[in-house]
C-alpha cells in the first residue's frame, strides 16, 4: 500500500515528496507573524479509509475518492483557518484549525492518505503493521496521532495497535463515523474535531478510540450498533474521557508505560490464531478440526462466567490435548460484559486442562493479544502463557487501585468543603495531587512519591502552569527522583504553558545525566529546528560549551541554522569564543555553511577581528579556484 502526505489543495503529493512535506508541516516559517507568541501542536492524521471520508457520487452512493479528503477539509471553515494558514504558511502549507476559545495553542495538522483507501472489513494484520510503522516513522515530528478508520474492524485495529506500540508516550486516537464527515448531517465532524483536539491538547499515552462523546481505551471497546452515533462501548472499563461542553479526562484511569525505555514498534504478529465460540450441541469433530495445525492460539468464547458443559468429556479431552501440544487457549465470556471466574465447577475444570482465564478481555483484545504474544520469539512458551494472564496495556482488570476518597487528605478537605460526589472528589484531587507530588519532589522524598502512586495519583498531572513533577525534578537535578517518576509512568512529552518539556528544562539547567535518562525514555527536542538553532547560537555567542553539550546529548544538530542562516560556529567565530570553536570542530560540525549574507564562519571571525577563531578556522576556508582565460594560457 502506498501513502501520500496531503498538504496542498491542488497537488497530490506522492511518497517521494513525503520528507519535504513533513519538514514543511513541522518547520514553520518564522518570517510571517513573527511578533505573535505562537504555540503549536502538530497532529498527524492517518487516513486509511472508512465512511468518515467518503463522498456521494452521481448515483448518491458513498464511495472513497482518492486525494479528495484534504481538499474538502480546506473548504470547511470549521476545519481550516484559511486566512491565518495562508498568511503564515502560504497556500501550500499544512492545515490549521481555527483558534479555540478555551485553548491558546494552534493545532497544525497533516493528512497522510493511504492509497488505495480500504474498507475496514478488508483490513488485515498487515494493515495494522503498516499503521504502526507509520506512527513510528513520524513519531518525533508530531505531538499526537489520529487514525481515521472504518468502524467494522476499528476495535480490532485499536486493540492490536495498543500492544504493538510499546512504551508509547503520545496520544493515538482511532475514530470513524456512521455518516460521512462532509454530509450535511453527520457524526463525522464531531468525531474528527474532538479527536484532533484531544490528540493536540491532552497527553494521554495510550491507543484510544473516540466515538460519540466518549474517549475509550482502545483495547476495551466493542462495536455495539450499526446505526447509533454511540456505536462503541467499553463494557468492562469506564471511559478515559467524556466530551460535552468541556472535556473531562479521568487521568487516574490512564495506563502509562512505566518502563525506562524509548518508544518502539513490535512490527510482527502471529496470524495462526482464531476464535472458537461454544454453542449447544457443538460437535467434537468441529472442535478437533479447529485445533489442528497451523493453529497456535485460540480465544475460547464460553458461556456465562467461563462455563463449558460438564457432561462433555469429549470436548474437555480435545482442549486438554491441544494445550499439551503447546496451543495457547484463552477463555473469555460470550456475554457483552463481565468476566470469567472459577466460581462454577465447569470453569475450574477448563482451567485444569491448561486453558488460561482471560478475565474480562474483549474478544478483539484477546485475539490481538494472542497474535502479539505468540510473535515474541524471545519468549518461551511458559512466558507467553504468563503474559496472557498479565495486564500489559490495561486490557484486563487486575487489582483495583484505591479511589480518591481513600486518600485521607482529599477526604478531609473534601468533607470540609461539603463535597460528596465522585466527580467533585476527582476535581479536588486534580488540584491537590500536583501540589503534593511537587512538594515530594522538592523534598526528594522517594517514599512519599511511591505512596502517592498507590493511591492512584496520576504522576503527570499538571499544575496551573501546565508543569508536571517531572519538569520540576529536571530543574532540581536529582537523578533518583527523575528515575522514580519515570518508573511511576511520568510522561516525557508533556508541554507546559510555555511549551517546555522536561527535556527543555534539563537542557537549560545542563543536567547531563538526566538528559541521558530522558532520551533513554524517548524524549526528543520539540519545536522548530530554527528555534532550536537560535538557542544554540545564543549559547555559542556567550561561550557556553556546557549548554552546547546539553543539546548534543539531546541529539541536537550543532550545525543547525537560525532564522538568519547562521550556525553556532558563526556566532562563536564572531565573538572569538575559542573553546566553543574547538568544541564544535571536535564534533565535526559544518564549517563551510553560508548565512543569508553569503558569509562563512571564517568571514565572521576575520571581519570581527577574532584572531584566535580566525586562526582555528583558516584551514576550513574553502579554496578559491580562479579560472584562466584560454587566450592567456601558456
CA triple 240-193-247, angle to 5 deg:
35
CB count, 10 Å around CB of 136? 15
Q: Specify the DSSP element, H or E, that contains 300.
A: strand 297-302
Determine whether 92 is an active site residue.
no
Q: 3-class DSSP state for residue 443?
A: coil
User: Is 96:32 a contact under the CB 8 Å cutoff?
Assistant: no
Pairwise CA distance, residues 66 & 47, whole Å: 11
Between β-strands 165-166 and 171-175, what pairing exists: parallel, antiparallel or unpaired? unpaired
Pairwise CA distance, residues 529 & 525, whole Å: 9
Q: What are phi and psi of 375, to 5 degrees?
A: -85, -5
Nearest by Cα to 2 from 115, 96, 86, 122? 115
User: Is 554:503 a contact under the CB 8 Å cutoff?
Assistant: yes
Q: 3-class DSSP state for residue 410?
A: helix
Nearest by Cα to 213 from 190, 181, 197, 179? 190
User: Is 343:305 a contact under the CB 8 Å cutoff?
Assistant: yes
Long-range contacts, 577-583 (Cβ 8 Å, 24+): 577/540, 577/541, 577/542, 577/543, 577/613, 578/612, 578/613, 578/616, 579/543, 579/545, 580/540, 580/543, 580/544, 580/545, 580/548, 581/612, 581/613, 581/616, 581/617, 582/616, 583/545, 583/548, 583/549
Q: Which of these is catalytic: 48, 51, 153, 591?
A: 51
Nearest by Cα to 117 from 43, 182, 209, 53? 53
Classify residue 101 by its DSSP letter. Answer: T
Pairwise CA distance, residues 203 & 501, whole Å: 12
For residue 139, give the C-alpha cell: 513519531
Between β-strands 214-217 and 241-243, what pairing exists: parallel, antiparallel or unpaired? antiparallel
Q: What are phi and psi of 411, to 5 degrees?
A: -65, -45
Classify residue 303 by its DSSP letter. Answer: B
Nearest by Cα to 174 from 206, 140, 141, 129? 206
Residues 6+ away with beta carbon under 8 Å from 631: none
Pairwise CA distance, residues 609 & 632, whole Å: 37
Secondary structure (DSSP) of 525-565: --S-HHHHHHHHHHHHHTT-HHHHHHHHHTT--TT---TTS
Pairwise CA distance, residues 542 & 565, whole Å: 19
Q: Would you name the residues annotated as active-site residues?
A: 51
Amino acid at each position: 500500500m502506498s501513502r501520500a502526505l496531503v498538504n496542498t489543495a491542488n497537488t497530490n503529493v506522492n511518497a517521494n515528496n513525503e520528507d519535504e512535506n513533513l519538514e514543511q508541516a513541522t518547520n514553520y516559517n518564522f518570517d510571517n507573524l513573527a511578533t505573535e507568541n505562537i504555540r503549536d501542536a502538530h497532529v498527524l492524521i492517518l487516513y486509511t479509509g472508512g465512511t468518515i471520508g467518503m463522498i456521494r457520487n452521481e448515483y448518491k452512493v458513498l464511495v472513497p475518492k482518492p486525494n479528495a479528503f484534504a481538499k474538502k477539509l480546506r473548504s470547511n471553515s470549521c476545519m481550516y483557518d484559511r486566512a491565518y494558514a495562508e498568511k503564515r504558511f502560504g497556500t501550500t502549507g499544512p492545515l490549521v484549525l481555527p483558534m479555540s476559545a478555551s485553548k491558546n495553542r494552534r493545532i497544525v495538522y497533516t493528512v497522510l492518505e493511504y492509497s488505495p483507501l480500504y474498507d475496514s472489513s478488508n483490513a488485515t494484520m498487515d494493515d495494522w503493521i503498516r499503521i504502526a510503522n507509520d506512527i513510528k516513522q513520524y513519531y518525533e515530528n508530531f505531538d499526537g496521532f489520529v487514525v481515521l478508520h472504518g468502524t467494522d474492524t476499528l476495535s480490532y485495529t485499536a486493540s492490536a495497535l495498543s500492544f504493538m506500540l510499546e512504551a508509547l508516550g503520545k496520544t493515538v486516537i482511532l475514530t470513524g463515523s456512521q455518516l460521512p464527515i462532509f454530509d450535511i448531517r453527520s457524526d463525522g465532524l464531531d468525531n474528527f474535531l474532538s479527536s484532533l483536539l484531544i490528540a493536540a491538547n491532552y497527553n494521554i499515552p495510550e491507543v484510544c478510540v473516540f466515538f460519540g462523546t466518549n474517549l475509550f481505551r482502545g483495547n476495551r471497546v466493542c462495536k455495539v450498533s450499526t446505526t447509533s452515533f454511540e456505536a462503541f462501548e467499553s463494557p468492562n472499563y469506564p471511559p478515559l474521557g467524556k466530551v460535552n461542553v468541556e472535556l473531562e479526562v479521568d487521568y487516574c484511569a490512564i495506563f502509562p508505560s512505566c518502563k525506562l525505555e524509548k518508544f518502539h514498534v513490535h512490527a510482527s504478529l502471529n496470524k495462526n490464531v482464531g476464535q472458537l465460540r461454544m454453542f449447544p450441541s457443538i460437535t467434537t469433530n468441529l472442535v478437533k478440526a479447529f485445533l489442528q495445525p497451523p493453529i497456535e492460539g485460540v480465544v475460547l468464547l464460553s458461556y456465562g462466567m467461563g462455563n463449558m458443559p460438564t457432561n462433555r468429556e469429549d470436548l474437555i479431552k480435545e482442549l486438554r490435548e491441544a494445550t499439551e501440544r503447546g496451543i495457547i487457549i484463552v477463555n473469555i465470556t460470550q456475554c457483552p460484559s463481565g468476566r470469567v471466574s472459577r466460581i462454577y465447577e465447569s470453569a475450574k475444570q477448563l482451567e485444569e486442562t491448561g486453558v488460561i482465564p482471560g478475565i474480562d478481555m474483549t474478544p478483539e483484545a484477546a485475539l490481538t493479544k494472542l497474535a502479539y504474544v505468540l510473535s515474541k520469539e524471545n519468549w518461551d512458551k511458559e512466558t507467553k502463557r504468563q503474559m496472557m494472564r498479565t495486564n500489559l496495556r490495561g486490557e484486563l482488570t487486575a487489582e483495583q487501585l484505591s479511589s480518591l476518597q481513600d486518600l485521607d487528605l482529599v477526604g478531609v478537605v473534601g468533607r470540609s468543603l461539603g463535597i460528596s460526589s465522585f466527580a467533585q472528589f476527582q476535581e479536588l484531587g486534580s488540584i491537590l495531587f500536583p501540589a503534593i507530588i511537587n512538594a515530594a519532589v522538592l523534598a526528594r522524598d522517594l517514599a512519599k512519591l511511591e505512596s502517592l502512586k498507590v493511591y492512584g495519583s496520576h504522576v503527570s498531572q499538571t499544575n496551573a502552569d501546565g508543569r508536571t513533577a517531572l519538569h520540576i525534578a529536571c530543574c532540581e537535578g536529582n537523578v533518583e527522583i527523575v528515575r522514580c517518576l519515570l518508573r511511576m509512568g511520568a510522561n516525557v512529552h508533556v508541554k507546559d504553558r510555555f511549551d517546555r518539556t522536561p527535556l527543555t528544562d534539563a537542557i537549560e539547567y545542563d543536567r547531563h545525566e538526566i538528559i541521558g535518562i530522558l532520551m533513554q525514555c524517548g524524549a526528543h527536542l520539540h519545536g522548530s529546528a530554527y528555534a532550536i538553532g537560535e538557542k544554540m547560537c545564543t549559547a555559542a555567542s556567550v561561550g557556553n560549551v556546557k549548554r552546547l553539550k546539553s543539546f548534543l546529548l539531546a541529539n541536537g544538530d550543532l550545525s543547525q541554522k537560525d532564522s538568519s542562516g547562521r550556525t553556532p560556529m558563526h556566532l562563536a567565530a564572531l565573538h572569538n569564543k575559542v573553546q566553543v570553536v574547538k568544541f564544535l570542530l571536535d564534533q565535526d560540525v559544518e564549517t563551510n555553511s553560508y548565512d543569508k549574507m553569503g558569509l562563512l564562519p571564517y568571514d565572521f571571525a576575520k571581519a570581527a577581528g577574532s584572531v584566535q577563531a580566525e586562526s582555528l578556522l583558516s584551514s576550513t576556508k574553502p579554496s578559491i579556484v580562479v579560472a584562466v582565460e584560454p587566450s592567456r594560457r601558456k
